[in-house]
Amino acid sequence: MNTKNSISLFLIFSIFLMLTSCFNTATEVDETVSQGTVHPSDVIPFFDKFKLILGDGSNVGAPVDFENKDYFYTTKEGETNWVVYKSPNAGNTHGTSNNIRTELAQAKKWSAMSEAKLTGTCKVMNVSATGDARVAASYSVVIGQIHSADGHENEPFKLFYKKFPGHKKGSVFWNYEINTAGDDNSGRWDYSYPIWGHDMSVVGETPTDFPAEPADGIELGEELSYEVLVKDGIMSLKFMSEGHETKTFTKNLIESEYSTKADMPEQVKGLFVPIGQDGVERPNAYTGEGLFFKQGSYNQTNGKDPVVNKVWCAGAETHGGDVQKQYETGNYAEVWFKEASIEIPDDAISNDGYFAANDGLSKKTVYPHEVIPFMDKFKMLMGDGTNVEELTEFEDKNFFYTVIDGTMRWVVYKTPNSGVTSKNSSNTRTELHEKREWIPEDGGKLTGSCKVMQVSTSGDARVAASYSVVIGQIHSGEGHENEPIKIFYKKFPGHTKGSVFWNYEINTAGDDNSGRWDYSYPVWGYDMSVVGENPTDFPAEPKDGIELGEEFSYEINVHKGIMYVTFESEGHETKKFTKNLIKSEYTTKADIPEQTKKLFVPIGQDGVERPEAYAGELNYFKQGAYNQTNGKDPESNMVWCAGAETHGGDIQKQYETGNYAEVWFKEATIGASTAPKK
């Protein structure tokens, strides 16, 4: 071969190799670029205007160049990048909410009289696979809001998507929450406006019964857009989706249409009034309060027991808070946004006050004395036998602590069927014991607003004390140490409604107290004497009873030796009773009532009372959860020995199996007696 030609061929081959190498290098660089991280702020460039709350409860600040693969990231579908907001049914919450969110919260707030605008184009990809169909919030997620930063921090706008399991189409609706008049926000409620499909009030008759699928609903993965404009006190809303009618609404944010009870809509009477949320709105609604936008995935389906709140507590699967397990089983909400924008007025101001008040709030300890400030007047015995003398800045997560139910904070008293009892009782209690003692002639007053959340699920139906808890008492500190009043709640298994009644225990004449007995007064439902014919036979459910989780209040007012007792509950007749504590009506055998002959005389308790009853004896109030259901053999006492499951005294096992009593109080007072109203 010619040398010259050989050199030429070599040069050509070398150049080819160099070009190939360069081409491959360029290709590799391009692939690296194409696989680079695309942050949400690269897709929607307004994140400098917001702070981001993640599904673990943390506030990560402005999420510029930020992502979190569990909650907040981007995904590409075809040529379109989407921002993903994902939130499980359970995790760590933000503020006072029961619900998990991965949600933007605007960094500035503004007045309803200024001009502000939020838009979004999104699609909901998942809502929880579990929940209770009777609960309005089940299977839903909020994808946009206006929130107040001041006052009660209520929400004049919440945009929901909700789809029942097995349905192809879900509903889109928006809610207006009243800005409740006064200092107590527990009566607040929402009015729900349907956009496509149903409004919020359409629920199932049973936990697994779903209403009909909406004919004009929106499917998972189907795009929709919304526009929220607030200007000069008026909120204007626009909702759009391909193939669906465009819907528009207006709402006055500075002049209420719900300022009296007569203004309450029928929808609200059906949905919120039954759970005690029946407030009115302040006449100027959200005037003067700082408002701000929110957007993302605010999961409305939680694991709270529906008995707590039948609108907001969904009873969904949470896998003990395991986030990945919830994602694997479909127990989460996921929303994708491809476009969003915000316009805020020049006079918008910092919203840092809202974040300072709410960041980490769910992890902060709120002691019972911060909810009910009279705790310094009491000591307490807990369900494990522990005596606590000072209750200020005290809690115990097994027995005595606070919770938020979505509307307000409550003090929880919880006690098992078996633990350590007081010296003269077979029953466990987590119960306050008044430090002051007083005679009936001087008197005193105790009030409480409460709801019973649990009574034992086991017991003997023949035993009067089975399935019951005492939630308020007067106890004598002298003599036989008997009890002139015990307020009971009792519900048989399988019943929806239980009974509220109160008992008067005679202050037995003589030194022998073994003949003492109670007379029981029905308030709503039955008195104590209504029992089953055999251990598993339950009487008919009381028609006028009280459900677990239903609020009621009582007042015990002892004035100049006379006890005046009042019971109130929304939707139930107010009941009042009067009992003389210093002059007995049971001083002879002939005075024994028929009820007592039926219930107590057969077990040998047939005593008579001293003529002066409790006159001159020191008494004190008690309040909390005094569990009347124990594991004692019914054959030893067919009134008080319930034969319930105790799991050998294992407290956690009793809690897991429903063998305990739990009572929540939102308000209570103690003080001097007052003259009864004429």
Look at residues 301, 629, 260, 635 and name the one whose alpha carbon lies nearest to residue 464.
Answer: 629
For residue 528, report the phi and psi dihedrals to the nearest 5 degrees.
Answer: -65, -25
Report the alpha-carbon distance of residue 226 to residue 340 in Å, rounded.
9
Give the architecture-level CATH label for domain 40-363: Sandwich (2.60)
Number of Cβ atoms within 10 Å of the Cβ of 344: 19
Contact by Cβ (8 Å): 669, 447: yes
Q: Which residues are CB-neighbours of 296 under 8 A, at least 6 positions away?
A: 52, 85, 101, 102, 103, 104, 143, 335, 337
Look at residues 293, 299, 336 and name the one whose alpha carbon lies nearest to residue 121.
Answer: 336
Predicted pLDDT of residue 31: 31
Contact by Cβ (8 Å): 578, 559: no
Predicted pLDDT of residue 424: 63
Give me the half-sphere count of Cα atoms (radius 13 Å) on the Cβ side of residue 469: 32
For 135: left if phi > 0, alpha if psi spans -120 to 50, otherwise beta; the answer is: beta
Q: What DSSP letter does each residue of 408-460 carry, written as one string? A: -EEEEEEEESSS---TT-SS-EEEEEES--B-TTT-EEEEEEEEEEE--S---
Report the alpha-carbon distance of residue 3 to residue 264 in Å, rounded.
103
Q: What share of the chain is helix, strand, coil (3-state, %, to 5)?
A: 15, 35, 50
Q: What DSSP letter does each residue of 168-226 carry, written as one string? A: SEEEEEEEEE--BSSS--TT--EEEEEEES--TT---SSTT--PPPPTT-EETT--EEE
Predicted pLDDT of residue 218: 98
Cite the residue boundaries of each domain of the chain with CATH code 2.60.120.200: 40-363, 380-671
Summarised one tens digit per residue, pLDDT across range 523-572 is 999 999 999 999 999 999 999 999 999 999 999 999 999 999 999 998 99
Tell me, what DSSP letter sits at residue 289? -
Q: E-strand spans in 590-651? A: 619-627
Predicted pLDDT of residue 29: 31
Chain mean position to CA 488: 23
Contact by Cβ (8 Å): 434, 475: no
Predicted pLDDT of residue 36: 59
Report the alpha-carbon distance of residue 663 to residue 623 in Å, rounded.
10
Host H or E run for residue 31: helix 3-34
Burial 292-318 (b: 16+ CB within 10 A, else e): bbbbbbbbbbbbbbbbbbbbbbbbbbb
Please, where are the H alpha helices in 235-343? 266-271, 323-328
Q: Which portions of the chain are predicted below pLDDT 70?
A: 1-36, 361-362, 406-407, 422-425
Report the alpha-carbon distance of residue 167 to residue 619 in Å, rounded.
61
Look at residues 338, 340, 297 and name the one whose alpha carbon lies nearest to residue 81.
Answer: 338
Number of Cβ atoms within 10 Å of the Cβ of 134: 18
- Classify strands 157-162 and 169-177 as parallel, antiparallel or unpaired: antiparallel
Report the alpha-carbon distance of residue 370 to residue 179 in Å, rounded.
24
Report the alpha-carbon distance of residue 378 to residue 561 in Å, rounded.
23
Give the architecture-level CATH label for domain 380-671: Sandwich (2.60)
Summarised one tens digit per residue, pLDDT across range 473-518 is 999 999 999 999 999 999 999 999 999 999 999 999 999 999 999 9
Q: Residue 475, SS3?
A: strand
- pTM of the shown model: 0.79
Q: Which residues are CB-neighbours of 15 under 8 A, at least 6 positions away?
A: none
User: Residue 647 class from Cβ within 10 Å (0-12 exposed, 13-18 middle, 19+ buried)?
Assistant: middle
The residue with tokens 């098992």 is 416
Predicted pLDDT of residue 176: 98
Summarised one tens digit per residue, pLDDT across range 86-95 is 999 998 888 7
